[in-house]
Chains A and B, each alone.
Chain A
């Protein structure tokens, strides 16, 4: 199984400031034949299912605000929120879909400082 490790486990950021969440996979999730990283990011608020934010590591899902961006390749990835809003308080997960079993990071809890 590919192990996904996120850092930090929790993060306090002031409103309007940048938030950065990291995700590292135990092996590359870059598929060489199409040069795509099989990596997604989700946002989960209490009592709700996860919401897909990014796929292919850096493609924003329709309707996701532009302040969310994804970067990275191979084994190291980052989700950045450029200017934190109150509604961004949530737990964020990365997920690899390079191989089964699909696996998720342990989550990063983002709160307002």
Chain B
């Protein structure tokens, strides 16, 4: 069974860069698309983007200028960097994987709450 686990800081200062890592277990990262999705407290879900194991990416245009998703197949991990963080970026950040043949998200991490505050 595929499992995903986010790791990273829970608190980021305004204007700083957020770095989160998602560790994949129970399967190889060397297939499928691997995604990041976030959810501000009490609000809905926002797709950030995805990366294929080969390194090709697709980002939400609303965040594209500040987001980088990368993959490390040797560690079975993929990562998210978001620059110039503001309070509006405070959210639970989920890593996720779609099920085969669709882009409906079957596998999710438990989520990492990231608060932007000085």
Which residue numbers of A lie inside 8 Å of B, CB to CB?
1, 38, 40, 42, 48-52, 55-56, 61, 93, 95, 97, 100-107
Contacts and interface: CB of A to CB of B under 8 A. Distances in A.
Given A93-B44, A106-B44, A107-B44, A52 B106 contact: yes
Contact of A101 (B44, B60, B109): B60
A40 B61 CA distance: 22
A61 B106 contact: yes
A61 B105 CA distance: 11
Interface residues of B, number: 22
A103 B47 contact: yes
A108 to B, nearest CB: 11
Contacts, number: 56
A42 B105 CA distance: 9
A40 to B, nearest CB: 4
Nearest to A6: B44
Given A49-B109, A49-B111, A52-B99, A97 B104 contact: yes
A102 B103 contact: yes
B58 A100 contact: yes
Contact of B104 (A1, A95, A100): A95
By secondary structure, the B interface counts as loop
B46 interface: yes
By secondary structure, the A interface counts as loop
B62 A101 contact: yes
Contact of B105 (A52, A100, A106): A52
B46 A97 contact: no
Cβ-closest 5 pairs across A and B? A97-B103, A49-B108, A40-B104, A55-B104, A101-B60
